[in-house]
């Protein structure tokens, strides 16, 4: 019916890939529908960008990332920004499942019914970490998909010496270039992996061949292309982005999986998610230990093992907005790929058993994502934003200074520009307002003095006032050396700085 054996294998491979991908997307969409609001802490930043692009033809903050045309497609299909983002992000999770299933196919094997693809496809279907990552970081997930495909494409190349002309480089180079427009972090990881791949693939002739005139010329052309693109297109990797790395090193070592569990909190980590983190970390430790002892329990892909190990570099400062946090999130997604050369008897039966167990568990693990625990309180934001809209009616504000996530929600909902920074440009003081939080109402009244009537409560301990009133409050607190009040201001994430240079580059238009 399906032709020869090779055709049947290809057909079966396609149906397995498509089935796992669709199931993965549907489970994530189901999880995202738990809230009527967009999912994740950064979602309204993306929605502000999409809305501005649709209504004005320009982004609110120029950024040449592929995530925006991707999400825009789903807005066109659904006609709703929030729903479109939920659908697009869920499908992106399904694409990740498809990519790891495709990645697991050895170039020397044709049968899809062996352990590796079945296990990895079902593991990504089960993964509560993938659900959380997709909800919080869709742009990062796009980059991780491209990174997995890039790593898989290099696995198809089999060349023993750099003097030979490697075939099949077009697809890996294409994926590397596309990842440059996907996400800065995953592009950097792709380049790092490529270096490791060269070192281990050509370890006998690496230095003698790599630094030949021809290869150096290729490297210069590639660097020139990426540098020029970074100068032309905002939001791409640029030398100014190294400003993000300032202060990321910490002489006190930390172990990211432990830091995650202890600081993110067991109250926000389900049993399924904790199992995944422990299983992945344990597998990585096993791979490192066996690799160091040169055991052949499984033939670990060394470049990938080194890359995963670097993602747990212990001397990075642990912050929920820091590089160590982002590295850890990617580590949990990438490390299961180390199982690609796992040697086991009865692969078909074992793979089906593991896939059946993980698929069954996925019917429950998707509930590990809880919008009330993992997302901002968007319902509260909606109420206080409406309160602010009514107060500001007829005042025509030009800019609202507000805490980070609230500023994006406010901009998307009202159309009034809001940002979590002090403006680096001139704004009419009568049209510059602030939403402050994290301070006691009575203390705020005391420092406001004669301007008490200009401070309006929005509920949930948020207050709206003209910016000049806020600045006078802060100055008075500083004069009285009220360290407790000033500490409350900082804990409340009230903006007090202008945007750094590396972030101001986004404001440049195409």
Question: How confident is the model over 280-292, as pLDDT tens digits?
Answer: 999 999 888 877 6
CB distance 65 to 182 below 8 Å: yes
Most confident range (mean pLDDT) of 174-183, 218-227, 262-271 is: 262-271
Cα 441 versus chain centre, distance: 37
Task: State the Cα–Cα distance between residues 179 and 146, nearest whole angstrom.
Answer: 6
Q: Which has more confidence, 237 or 177?
A: 177
Cα 4 versus chain centre, distance: 43
- What is the per-residue pLDDT for 166? 58
> What single DSSP character describes residue 422?
B
Q: List the domain boundaries for the chain.
A: 1-130, 137-245, 247-343, 378-507
- What is the per-residue pLDDT for 1? 41
- What is the per-residue pLDDT for 299? 46
Is the overall model pTM greater than 0.85, yes or no? Answer: yes
- What is the per-residue pLDDT for 296? 45
Structure tokens at 501: 């240079």
Does position 343 have pLDDT exceeding 60, yes or no? no
| Per-residue pLDDT tens digits for 318-327 | 988 889 999 9
CB distance 193 to 303 below 8 Å: yes
Structure tokens at 16: 């397995």
Cα 456 versus chain centre, distance: 36
CB distance 179 to 146 below 8 Å: yes
Report the chain's mean pLDDT, rounded to a whole number: 84
- What is the per-residue pLDDT for 95? 97
13, 30, 15: which is closest to 363 by C-alpha? 30
Residues 6+ apart with CB under 8 A from 357: 122
Does position 355 have pLDDT exceeding 50, yes or no? yes
The region of weakest confidence among 18-32, 107-121, 229-243, 423-437 is: 229-243
| Per-residue pLDDT tens digits for 193-216 | 988 888 777 665 555 555 555 555
Which residue shows structure tokens 């790395």?
A: 245
CB distance 510 to 62 below 8 Å: yes
Instruction: pLDDT band for 400, please (50, 70, 90 cuts).
Output: very high
Task: State the Cα–Cα distance between residues 379 and 37, nearest whole angstrom.
Answer: 8
| Per-residue pLDDT tens digits for 443-455 | 899 998 888 889 9
3-class DSSP state for residue 313?
coil
- What is the per-residue pLDDT for 427? 87
Q: Which has more confidence, 174 or 103?
A: 174
3-class DSSP state for residue 372?
helix
| Per-residue pLDDT tens digits for 425-434 | 888 888 999 9
Structure tokens at 243: 């400003």
How, if at all, do strands 432-437 and 462-466 pair? Answer: antiparallel
CB distance 438 to 431 below 8 Å: no
Question: CA distances (Å), 90 to each of 28, 68, 84, 138, 194, in order?
Answer: 5, 15, 10, 9, 29
Task: State the Cα–Cα distance between residues 312 and 254, nearest whole angstrom.
Answer: 9
The residue length of the chain stands at 510
- What is the per-residue pLDDT for 110? 47
| Per-residue pLDDT tens digits for 240-266 | 555 555 667 878 899 999 999 999 999
Which residue shows structure tokens 């747990």?
A: 312
What's the start-to-end Cα distance of the chain, in Å? Answer: 53
- What is the per-residue pLDDT for 206? 52
């Amino acid at each position: 019916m399906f032709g020869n054996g090779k055709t049947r294998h290809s057909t079966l491979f396609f149906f397995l890939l498509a089935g796992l991908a669709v199931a993965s997307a549907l489970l994530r969409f189901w999880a995202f529908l738990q809230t009527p609001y967009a999912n994740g802490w950064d979602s309204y930043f993306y929605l502000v960008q999409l809305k501005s692009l649709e209504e004005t033809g320009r982004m609110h903050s120029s950024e040449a990332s592929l995530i925006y045309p991707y999400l825009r497609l789903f807005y066109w299909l659904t006609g709703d920004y929030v729903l479109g983002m939920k659908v697009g992000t869920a499908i992106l999770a399904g694409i990740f499942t498809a990519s790891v299933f495709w990645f697991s196919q050895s170039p020397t094997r044709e049968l899809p019914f062996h352990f590796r693809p079945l296990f990895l496809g079902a593991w990504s279907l089960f993964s509560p970490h993938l659900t959380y990552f997709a909800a919080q970081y869709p742009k990062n997930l796009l980059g991780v998909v491209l990174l997995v495909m890039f790593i898989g494409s290099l696995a198809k190349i089999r060349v023993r010496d750099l003097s030979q002309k490697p075939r099949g480089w077009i697809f890996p180079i294409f994926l590397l270039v596309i990842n440059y427009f996907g996400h800065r972090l995953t592009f950097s990881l792709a380049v790092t992996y490529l270096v490791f791949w060269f070192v281990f693939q050509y370890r006998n002739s690496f230095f003698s061949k790599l630094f030949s005139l021809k290869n150096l010329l290729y490297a210069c052309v590639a660097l020139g292309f990426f540098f020029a693109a970074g100068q032309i297109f905002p939001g791409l990797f640029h030398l100014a982005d190294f400003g993000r790395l300032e202060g990321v090193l910490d002489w006190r070592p930390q172990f990211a999986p432990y830091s995650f569990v202890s600081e993110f909190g067991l109250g926000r980590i389900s049993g399924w998610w904790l199992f995944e983190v422990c299983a992945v970390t344990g597998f990585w430790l096993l791979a490192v230990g066996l690799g160091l002892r040169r055991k052949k329990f499984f033939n670990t892909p060394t470049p990938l093992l080194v890359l995963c190990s670097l993602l747990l570099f212990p001397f990075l400062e642990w912050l929920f907005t820091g590089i160590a946090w982002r590295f850890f999130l990617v580590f949990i997604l990438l490390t299961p790929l180390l199982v690609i050369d796992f040697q086991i008897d009865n692969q078909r039966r074992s793979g089906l058993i593991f896939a059946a167990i993980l698929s069954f568990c996925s019917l429950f693990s998707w509930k590990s994502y809880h919008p009330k625990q993992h997302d901002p309180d968007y319902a509260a934001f909606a109420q206080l934003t409406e309160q602010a809209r009514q107060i500001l009616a007829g005042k025509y504000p030009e800019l609202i200074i507000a805490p980070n996530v609230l500023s994006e929600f406010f901009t998307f909902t009202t159309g009034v520009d809001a940002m979590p920074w002090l403006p680096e440009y001139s704004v009419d003081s009568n049209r510059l307002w602030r939403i402050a939080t994290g301070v006691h109402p009575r203390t705020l009244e005391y420092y406001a003095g004669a301007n008490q009537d200009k401070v309006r409560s929005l509920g949930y301990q948020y207050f709206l006032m003209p910016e000049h009133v806020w600045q006078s409050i802060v100055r008075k607190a500083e004069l009285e050396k009220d360290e407790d009040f000033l500490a409350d201001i900082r804990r409340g994430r009230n903006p007090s700085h202008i945007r750094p240079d590396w972030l101001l580059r986004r404001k440049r238009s195409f």
